[in-house]
Amino acid sequence: MFQPNTPFKKYIISSPGMAYGGGEAFRQEADYAKTHKDLAVGVYLAAGSLEATTPEVEVLGDVVSGMSRLAGVLSSRHYPGLKLTVEYHPGMNHNDVMGTTVVRGLRTLYAK
């Protein structure tokens, strides 16, 4: 969503491994923010609540903490066109949260 000329305006992001690439998503967002005052996209971020206490997921991938950090960074920019939704699905882990995330994300981003 931080790339120039991207054709996408809506993003469903499920349990993102924010540690991968050494925090590359945060670098891309920071670079984007230097030259842009708006991010006119819809973003649905979600993870399972149990992912926060699963070492293979949280410690290695910064899934829940990284997702929360990204949500905080995006919110702090006050992008006027950003429609951000963040959800933590109770009782779900990394292996079973995808279906719920897709359904809830589609309903959230494409609601009439």
Mean pLDDT of 77-99: 96
d(CA 107, CA 112): 9
pLDDT at 90 over 80: yes
Whole-number pLDDT of residue 76: 97
pLDDT digits (tens, 9 = 90+) for 93-111: 999 999 999 999 999 999 9
60-88 per-residue burial string, b: 16 or more CB within 10 A, e: under 16: ebbbbbbbbebbeebeebebeebebebbb
Specify the CATH class of 10-109 in words: alpha beta
d(CA 112, CA 96): 27
Whole-number pLDDT of residue 60: 75
Whole-number pLDDT of residue 104: 97
Q: Give the domain ranges of the chain.
A: 10-109
